[in-house]
Chains A and B, each alone.
Chain A
Amino acid sequence: MTSIDESNKEKFRSVSVDLNNDASLLIDIPDALCERDKVKFTVHTKTTLSAFQKPEFSVPRQHEDFIWLHDTLVETEDYAGLIIPPAPPKPDFESPREKMHKLGEGEATMTKEEYTKMKQELEAEYLAVFKKTVQVHEVFLQRLSSHPNLSKDRNFQIFLEYDQDLSVRRKNVKEMFGGFFKIVAKSADEVLISGTKEVDEFFEQEKTFLLDYYSKIKDSTIKAEKMTRSHKNIADDYIHISATLNSLSVDDSTANKKNLQKLSDLFEKLRKVEGRVASDQELKLTELLRYYMRDIQAAKDLLYRRARALADYENSNKALDKARLKSKDIPQAEEHQQQCLQKFDKLSDSGKKELTIFKGRRVVAFRKNLVEMAELEIKHAKNNATLLQGCIELLKSN
């Protein structure tokens, strides 16, 4: 059972700020269990709301349950004007697993200590992936609980409370096909949204901004990932260098022996720092970019829905005109048109609010994370410098 302690959780909670502050509904994931590929999350809720049966309870949930909840919310008409928090990505242990496999193949070429250290590195990486996935699932729930409308959603409550297996309620085959069509429809939306003439200044700006920003942030996320990987590679090289220096020290029978040993220790320490540089950069930079990339996508989805509502409204107008011409079914057409207009207005209003809040949230999160990243870089660099200078002193004094 791999569990996350509170102190670590604090570090992780910075992607979206100001969550889980409302005492009426507090959610967290205190525990998670990793079995082969499946992760079982323990969702823990503390609430003062009467809507729930108990003031405090926990339920086990799988990743698919989160996806079901997300999709259900997206499909709910009433929430069309809201930015639905992006679904957490599937837990992906592919990278560390592949590296572990490669390590196993290369075992014969390294010393026992080297192999042990590499294995430790990989286990730490595995743990980091695990922690990240817990965090991202937790944040999803917390976004919901802190949203005035979504927190009251019935399905959300079921998700938190229902102490049986949720799989009965999850997507069946039919729904999965529905999902597929949704993806196809979405690309049609992209065309629609770029083609629609926008009357409202606000939405025009937002549209331009979000479309451009999305592609840029996606690119930045990919490039940031590459940077992190390079740091990890360097940390691995330090392991090998440290191990060989150690062997040299063991074989050496002169006064040089101590120097070699010191050097070996130094590289071992350096690689730990380098590893932390990599993981902190991952957390504060790459994760930040990744999360907001998904969030921007959710905002774009809102714009699509609004565009579809607008298209519906325009169609209903045409239908009304036709009905008037034919003098047939005018009241229905009128009513339909009214409905479409209402829906569109509602979407526009709530959409505007949501997008404004979104920008504020984004700015705060970026500032917080970039500042923290800078502070961590400084901390690690100072650490490195101290280690190096210590070793230089020792070597010079010998």
Chain B
Amino acid sequence: MADTDREDEELFTEPSGTQSQPASLSTEDVSANTNGPNQDALFDDDPEDLFAEATEEVSLDSPERDILLSDGPSPAITPITPPTSVIAPRIGHTHDDMFTHSSFDEIEEEEVDDSFDINISVSDPEKVGEYVVHPVQEQKTSMSLFKQREFSVKRRFSDFLGLHSKLASKYLHVGYIVPPAPEKSIVGMTKVKVGKEDQSSNEFVEKRRSALERYLMRTVKHHILLKDPDVLQFLESSELPRAVSTQALSSAGLLRMVNKAADAVNKMTIKMNESDAWFEEKQQHFESLDVQLRKLHISVESLVCHRKELSVNTAQFAKSAAMLGNSEDHTALSRALSQLAEVEEKMDQLHQDQANADFYLFSELLGDYVRLLAAVKGVFDHRIKTWQKWQDSQILLQKKREAEAKLQFTNKSDKLQQAKDEIKDMEGRVQQDERDFEQISRTIRKEVGRFEKERVKDFKTSIIKYLESLVLTQQQVIKSYFTFRYVTASV
């Protein structure tokens, strides 16, 4: 009940109008309606409180939102200071430690996305009160869109999820490819919350930090998303209201799940008459790309695993060689064996470092793109839904026309008038739906172009970095063995 209320209040007044029946609402729509408190998955308070807060939030924000959003997805946006009336977040929210991250470095922006140059970095988490936060530093150049040159904010993991949620609900269904946020990991989070200080939890922390950084960078690289007020607020505000609907078990979460299921069914039953070969070709292209990237991802994950094994085995061998050297009674040979142990210890370290590079520069890149492709697919699916809506309106119009025709032969003039009015409305709707469809088709074309360009650039940059890491390793190997050889030859 509460959900629908919020939805009515807080509407996208974008030209493409989402004032549709609840049934065709995507899951994101529901969650986005709350500008309310963010929550992390399972560790949260009773829903009651959250919803109460949420309503508050929305009423304060919505007028501003309307202004911002009425500009639609066009690049020209009037500079707006983010609402200073942003609600103070719920401090003293008893639950657990959540990660708060994010810092920015430089933000410059131009109208066109190509010469874009923003740098964001997310730092390691630290605890502030009950939460875990990331410390932050940054600078930026002046830009009308932002209030200050530099900023530094502290954000919790749930804040990131909340941001994505909002962006997805606003932009996905009109054809924009919104970068997906990093996934929640209950196991990982529990370990960290419990305070377990071991290698796997350190790895988890770093993995998450890196993922959040990449997520933000991708989001701000999108020229439309960068200007979104939610993004600006996320980047700038010292306090951020918390999102409620990211909670998996909330009613919002449940509704999300139901809608997802409905979507899946719809996908199976909608058969679109594709008049545009471009879309068909692109869909196939993305499908095959998805298959290949997944396969590559698996192979690289295997590489990471084997390299870690190599590191462990090398370390063990080094220890064993050291013991052998101790046992050796020929002095010079004993020294050589100790040297061998040292060299292999260095190799162990190199292999470890290389495994990290394998992971962060190659494996994670692939993982990100597998999830990005899911977002791309989603956007194509939305187009089909939009088409379907248009078809449905046309059918309805036809029915109304038929009904009106029948009424012509009766003497119910008042009913006839009503029918004629309804037809007029319906015609308007059909036209709107058609415009929506054309709009989303146009947007997708542009987006796909942007995405592909970005993808190629992204891969190239990362792969070059990765290859450079491999080169570095090899150079270290050469150095180490060179010294070793010199010592051993004199045995």
Give A contacts to B, CB under 8 Å. Answer: 205, 209, 212-213, 216-217, 219-220, 223-224, 226-227, 229-231, 233-234, 237-238, 240-241, 244-245, 247-248, 251, 254-256, 259, 263, 266, 359, 362-363, 366-367, 370-371, 374-375, 377-378, 381-382, 384-385, 388-389, 391-392, 395-396
Q: Which of A233, A254, A362 contacts B309 (CB 8 A)?
A: A233
A54 to B471, CA, bound (A): 58
Least CB distance, A361 to chain B, in whole angstroms: 11
How many residue pairs link A and B with beta carbons under 8 A? The number is: 151
Closest 8 CB pairs of A and B: A374-B485, A230-B310, A223-B317, A240-B299, A237-B303, A381-B477, A233-B306, A226-B313
State the CA gap A149–B306 with chains docked (Å).
Answer: 49
B324–A213 CB distance below 8 A: yes
Q: Mark B301-326, 1 if CB is under 8 A from A, else 0.
A: 01100110110011011001101100
- Cβ-defined contact, B463 with A395, below 8 A: yes
Are B317 and A226 within 8 A (Cβ)? yes
Find the residue from A247, A259, A374, A384 having the highest chain B CB count within 10 A. Answer: A374
A226 nearest CB neighbor, chain B only: B313
Q: Does B95 belong to the interface (CB within 8 Å)?
A: no
In contact, A363 and B320 (Cβ under 8 angstroms): no
Kindly name the residue among B309, B336, B471 whose own CB sees the greatest number of chain A CB atoms within 10 A: B471
- Is there an interface contact between A241 and B316, defined as CB atoms closer than 8 Å? no
Bound state CA distance, A190 and B390, in angstroms?
90
Q: How far is the CA of A212 from the CA of B323 in the complex (A)?
A: 10
Q: Quick check: B295 and A395 within 8 Å, CB to CB?
A: no
Q: What's the minimum C-beta distance from B491 to chain A, rounded to whole angstroms?
A: 5
Kindly provide the distance from the CB of B435 to the nearest chain A CB, expressed in whole angstroms. 32
Residues in A with CB closer than 8 Å to B481 are 374, 377-378, 381
Verify A234–B317 contact, CB threshold 8 A: no
Q: For B299, list chain A residues within 8 Å (CB).
A: 237, 240-241, 244
Chain A residue contacts of B51, Cβ below 8 A: none
Chain A residues positioned under 8 Å from B327 (CB to CB): 209, 212-213, 216
Quick one: which of B300, B317, B482, B488 has the most chain A CB within 10 A?
A: B317
B317 CB to closest chain A CB (Å) equals: 4
Q: Most chain-B CB neighbours within 10 Å: which of A213, A217, A223, A238?
A: A223
Number of interface residues of B (CB under 8 A): 54
Whether the pair A371, B489 counts as a contact (CB closer than 8 A) is yes
**B361, CB-defined interface residue at 8 Å:** no
Which residues in B have their C-beta under 8 angstroms from that of A385? 471, 474-475, 478
B332 at the interface (CB under 8 A from A): yes
Residue pair A227, B313 in contact (C-beta under 8 Å)? yes
The binding surface of chain A is classed by DSSP as helix
State A9–B330 Cα separation when bound (angstroms).
Answer: 29
| Contact B482 A388, beta carbon cutoff 8 Å | no
Q: B302–A230 contact, CB under 8 A? A: no
* B316 engages A384 (CB within 8 Å): no
Residue of A nearest to B344 (CB): A227
Given A231-B310, A392-B467, decide whether A363 and B491 contact each other with a Cβ distance below 8 A: yes
Cα–Cα distance between A205 and B482 once the two chains are bound (Å): 35
B470 at interface by CB-CB < 8 Å: yes
Q: Which residues of A contact B329 (CB under 8 A)?
A: 205, 209, 213, 359
Considering only CB atoms, which chain B residue lies closest to A217 in the complex? B324
Query: Can you add 18 more A-B contacts, CB < 8 Å, to A220-B324, A378-B478?
Result: A205-B329, A213-B329, A220-B317, A220-B321, A229-B313, A230-B306, A233-B309, A237-B302, A240-B299, A247-B295, A248-B292, A366-B337, A367-B488, A371-B488, A374-B481, A377-B481, A381-B477, A392-B467
Instruction: Tell me which of A237, A247, A251 has the highest count of chain B C-beta atoms within 10 A of its own C-beta.
Output: A237
CB neighbours of B468 from chain A (8 A): 388, 392
Residue in A closest to B461 when the chains form the complex, CB atoms? A395
* Min CB–CB distance A392 → chain B (angstroms): 5
B288 within 8 A of A: yes
Q: A365–B491 Cα gap in the complex (Å)?
A: 11
CB pair B456–A256 under 8 Å, yes or no, is yes
User: What residues of A have a CB within 8 angstroms of the CB of B292 in the complex?
Assistant: 244, 247-248, 251
